[in-house]
Amino acid sequence: MQPSLHLREMTRAEKLKTIDQIWDDLMQNPDEIPSPDWHSDVLSARAQRVENGEAVFKDFEESKAKLREEFK
């Protein structure tokens, strides 16, 4: 059975609530959601950059403030 959502009739708030409900349901059994192979490749490459001292880290609070300022 494929559920039908009347997306064009839903408000943005209703759509976001629906997304949250779907996500909460999916997270009941996260091990059932396979991770694509490329995720492992990306994580390995990032770990390698950290190990080599090539990774650059930014302060989380500063990054949030910068994004908030850019999207005002």
pLDDT value of position 4: 86
Tell me the domain boundaries of the chain: 36-72
Q: How much is the pLDDT for 67?
A: 94
Question: What's the pLDDT at 21?
Answer: 96
Give the span between the Cα atoms of 69 and 61, in whole angstroms: 12
Burial 53-66 (b: 16+ CB within 10 A, else e): eeeeeeeeeeeeee
- Cα–Cα–Cα angle for 46, 35, 22, nearest 5°? 120
Q: How far is CA 51 from CA 44, 58, 59, in A?
A: 10, 17, 19
pLDDT, residue 3, reads 79
Mean pLDDT by 10 residues, the chain (72 residues): 88 96 95 93 96 95 94 86
